[in-house]
Chains A and B, each alone.
Chain A
């Protein structure tokens, strides 16, 4: 699939090419007022860090350098009901939780067990244990009205993720100009230049000029521009989705989660960006927030144990967030497997106890109100992972 630049009214930016001759399953106009936003966190968010099970006695033994003070203490976690605590860089999510508009799902994973980012992201977006040529969210669009004037689906940001690739044409919004990489990625690029006789110095200066303290591993980022990039995109998504005749399903991506080293310093800006983004999305959606669900997912969790560089490596079970006025929130949904030695998957990862497809299917069925056939089309061969009920308000 190719992207083509077009400008049409407020829908600046990209429009994915149409695929003529598609057989759409005929359904009623179910799209209505309900909005679904899917945010992919590329690089694998450490779920045990973002949503810390401080009530689990094994936690500190596995990853003391990554454990934050308990709720109520200075710099401590934001409490989620006595067992889990949210990272303090996620105050918006916590406020949504308090308002009953955030559901935190823990010990979740897709139906695959790959620890390769590339593979796992493909599987996550395919919605299967293998790589398909289209994404589950695109297939779900087949069950919605999709007029050519305003497509039901829209991708926000420069790319067209596999999640929204497929037969159903989608529109796209990309901000004008260049999109800066996440600080994490910039640090990696800068590290590659460190030994270059000419460019080492030049790139170091460039990093400093942009507000990065130093070209060293784990240096904290004060880079405001980067912190604002995702919230700006999220605000644009909110404006587009808020329109009465706008799109109803949007996909976004956010990088910077692959924290093999210096995790506390490196994850804070990414978490802030996510949190600010959700706030911006909510604000711009206005009254439409009440009929919105935002699903935040990542390709896998990370190792339960801290590694030798205050980081974590590729793991399995992690978290997903479900946010929005339509969400039956204020809860943590987790069939908690525990972190004791014998409870870890292969002795290293959080054991997944909830298939992410069940969450996505639950949203398609109960939030977008897709009929069973359309849900099955989105997630083929997933009979063993039935839609999870009760995610959204009736």
Chain B
């Protein structure tokens, strides 16, 4: 067994799944996943989520402020989170799923804004998945127009001071989305924008809102909230109107600083916490030469020699760790709830990033003493709840030639099957991807 097959499955994928063969040609296997997305099962739309949310509010009002039962949003979210875990347990396109998760995290929405719980699954399907191997600009537009993002970063209520509503009421501009798009999603501070740019961009985006309690239960442009007149963003002039927002987003997507920022984040995720400059340049060049083709960028990542050098050095985030462990031990999809409790127990509950910059992507943030001890506790708990599982098979699947001799020895000498699997899931090799 070559190292490359395991690296492909671990670094680029979600970790090998027990009982599944590793690819003969790892690079080809990864590339093939970029062609077309495996079909998704039917799932709720954004409109379904908004309706559920509105229904809960109505029900609560009817009952004196208390929601009887769990409510529609809670049921919807439970189904969505389970589906999230099930798909990642058994996907045949783990690289593609990793890219989805990367971009969802890049464009973080969080349940810390409660309505996002009803929309996060639909957000992933509607704004991220269609563009994971498409154009970054299209993804950016889809994200900025999605109710989950408009509500999470408050643009839905942003009102141009000179707009009809602005003139009539005391409501005004909300800079949150505009600022985060500039700072986190596109240019980054290295792009050299000013506070004036943030405000101008916020004016451009006024009116991009959401019909959350009535038809169309989705994105809605509100002309009465839109700031009239031309605006100047990074030296370029944009006119008034809904379409100026899209033009500004496409302008930002094409900015050289955006290519650099995205390349840095991609290389940090797939290669090293300290991204090697030549690897960043390679991805950056691809993005610039292809007009922001994310599929092409993914292909460049696969071809980076730095991504294939053992030992693996990217510390697994809690979500990576839990998924890898559950896949390595062959956890059946009926028990996908264990993935979700694992994520929560290890400090990365699904769709709950504390801030708009998403979950961290470096060891310094995740590899803390108590976090490691909790991983061992969790691994032991998981190992106790598995059916009969042969630790040698798990070791061969999970790590193959990447397992050190002392780990193999420790696993084979463990006092019980449960201890053996705990040792395997607790060993340092399993902590990295």
Chain A interface residues (CB < 8 Å from chain B): 1-3, 5, 14, 42-44, 117-118, 121, 157-160, 162, 177-181, 184-186, 188-189, 191-193, 196, 198-199, 202-203, 205-207, 209-210, 253, 255-258, 260
Within 8 A of A (CB), among B343-398: 345, 363, 367-370, 372-374, 376-378, 380-381, 384-385, 387-388, 391
A258 near B369: Cβ-Cβ < 8 Å: no
| Other 4 A-B pairs with CB < 8 A, given A1-B387, A185-B419 | A2-B332, A2-B387, A179-B377, A255-B418
Q: Is B415 an interface residue (CB 8 A)?
A: yes
CA distance A42 to B415 in the complex (A): 6
CA distance A159 to B367 in the complex (A): 28
Segment among B13-21, B183-191, B236-244, B421-429 that sits at the interface with chain A? B421-429
A118 near B416: Cβ-Cβ < 8 Å: yes
Chain A residues, CB < 8 A from B413: 258, 260
Q: Is B315 an interface residue (CB 8 A)?
A: yes
Q: Smallest CB–CB gap between A157 and chain B, Å?
A: 7
A44 near B415: Cβ-Cβ < 8 Å: yes
* A5-B337, A42-B415 as given contacts; A199 in contact with B423, CB under 8 Å: no
A178 near B378: Cβ-Cβ < 8 Å: yes
Listed A/B pairs (28) with beta-carbon separation below 8 Å: A2-B332, A2-B335, A14-B385, A43-B416, A117-B416, A118-B416, A159-B418, A162-B388, A179-B380, A180-B377, A180-B380, A181-B380, A181-B419, A185-B414, A188-B410, A188-B419, A188-B423, A189-B423, A189-B427, A192-B407, A192-B428, A198-B315, A198-B367, A199-B367, A199-B372, A199-B431, A255-B415, A260-B413
CB closest residue in chain A, given B382:
A158
The CB with the most chain B CB atoms within 10 A, among A5, A118, A158, is that of A118
Chain B residues, CB < 8 A from A121: 416-417
B419 near A2: Cβ-Cβ < 8 Å: no
Q: Is B132 an interface residue (CB 8 A)?
A: no
B410 near A181: Cβ-Cβ < 8 Å: no
CA distance A256 to B426 in the complex (A): 16
The CB with the most chain B CB atoms within 10 A, among A121, A157, A159, A205, is that of A159
CB closest residue in chain B, given A14:
B385
CB closest residue in chain A, given B392:
A118
B406 near A157: Cβ-Cβ < 8 Å: no
Kindly identify which residue among A159, A191, A206, A256 contacts B373, using a CB–CB cutoff of 8 Å. A206
Q: Is B334 an interface residue (CB 8 A)?
A: yes
Q: Smallest CB–CB gap between B320 and chain A, Å?
A: 15
Kindly identify which residue among B334, B363, B415 contacts A198, using a CB–CB cutoff of 8 Å. B363
CA distance A181 to B156 in the complex (A): 49
B380 near A42: Cβ-Cβ < 8 Å: no
Kindly identify which residue among B337, B369, B423 contacts A202, using a CB–CB cutoff of 8 Å. B369
CA distance A103 to B271 in the complex (A): 61
Kindly identify which residue among B345, B414, B428 contacts A199, using a CB–CB cutoff of 8 Å. B428
CA distance A256 to B372 in the complex (A): 20
A178 near B377: Cβ-Cβ < 8 Å: yes
A202 near B410: Cβ-Cβ < 8 Å: no
Give 1 or 0 for each of B213-224: 1 = CB within 8 Å of chain A CB.
000000000000
B418 near A202: Cβ-Cβ < 8 Å: no
Q: Is B153 an interface residue (CB 8 A)?
A: no
Chain B residues, CB < 8 A from A181: 376-377, 380, 419, 422
* A192-B426, A206-B372 as given contacts; A158 in contact with B415, CB under 8 Å: no
Kindly identify which residue among B315, B376, B385 contacts A189, using a CB–CB cutoff of 8 Å. B376
Chain B interface residues (CB < 8 Å from chain A): 315, 332, 334-335, 337, 345, 363, 367-370, 372-374, 376-378, 380-381, 384-385, 387-388, 391, 406-407, 410, 413-420, 422-423, 426-428, 431
The CB with the most chain B CB atoms within 10 A, among A2, A42, A199, A205, is that of A199
The CB with the most chain A CB atoms within 10 A, among B335, B414, B418, B419, is that of B419
Chain A residues, CB < 8 A from B416: 42-43, 117-118, 121, 253, 255
CB closest residue in chain B, given A41:
B415
CA distance A121 to B410 in the complex (A): 18
Q: Smallest CB–CB gap between A261 and chain B, Å?
A: 11
Chain B residues, CB < 8 A from A188: 410, 414, 419, 423
Chain A residues, CB < 8 A from B418: 42, 159, 255
A159 near B384: Cβ-Cβ < 8 Å: yes
CB closest residue in chain A, given B416:
A42
Chain B residues, CB < 8 A from A158: 381, 384-385
CA distance A247 to B381 in the complex (A): 24
CA distance A3 to B380 in the complex (A): 16
CA distance A177 to B416 in the complex (A): 22
Q: Smallest CB–CB gap between A180 and chain B, Å?
A: 5
Q: Smallest CB–CB gap between B174 and chain A, Å?
A: 40
CA distance A256 to B420 in the complex (A): 12
The CB with the most chain A CB atoms within 10 A, among B335, B369, B387, is that of B369
Chain A residues, CB < 8 A from B363: 198
B378 near A255: Cβ-Cβ < 8 Å: no
Q: Smallest CB–CB gap between B314 and chain A, Å?
A: 11
CA distance A191 to B404 in the complex (A): 13
CA distance A256 to B337 in the complex (A): 29
CA distance A205 to B376 in the complex (A): 14
CA distance A179 to B334 in the complex (A): 22
CB closest residue in chain A, given B409:
A192
B423 near A192: Cβ-Cβ < 8 Å: yes
CA distance A180 to B379 in the complex (A): 9
* A192-B406, A192-B407, A202-B368 as given contacts; A186 in contact with B376, CB under 8 Å: yes
A157 near B384: Cβ-Cβ < 8 Å: yes
Kindly identify which residue among A42, A203, A206, A210 contacts B419, using a CB–CB cutoff of 8 Å. A42
Chain B residues, CB < 8 A from A258: 413-415, 419
Q: Smallest CB–CB gap between B97 and chain A, Å?
A: 25
CB closest residue in chain B, given A257:
B415
* A43-B416, A192-B407 as given contacts; A185 in contact with B368, CB under 8 Å: no
B387 near A185: Cβ-Cβ < 8 Å: no
B315 near A203: Cβ-Cβ < 8 Å: no
CA distance A254 to B295 in the complex (A): 51
Chain B residues, CB < 8 A from A185: 380, 414-415, 419, 422-423
Chain B residues, CB < 8 A from A159: 384-385, 418
Chain B residues, CB < 8 A from A189: 376, 422-423, 426-427
CA distance A210 to B380 in the complex (A): 16
Q: Smallest CB–CB gap between A222 and chain B, Å?
A: 15
CA distance A203 to B420 in the complex (A): 19
Chain B residues, CB < 8 A from A202: 367-369, 372
The CB with the most chain A CB atoms within 10 A, among B334, B335, B373, B427, is that of B373
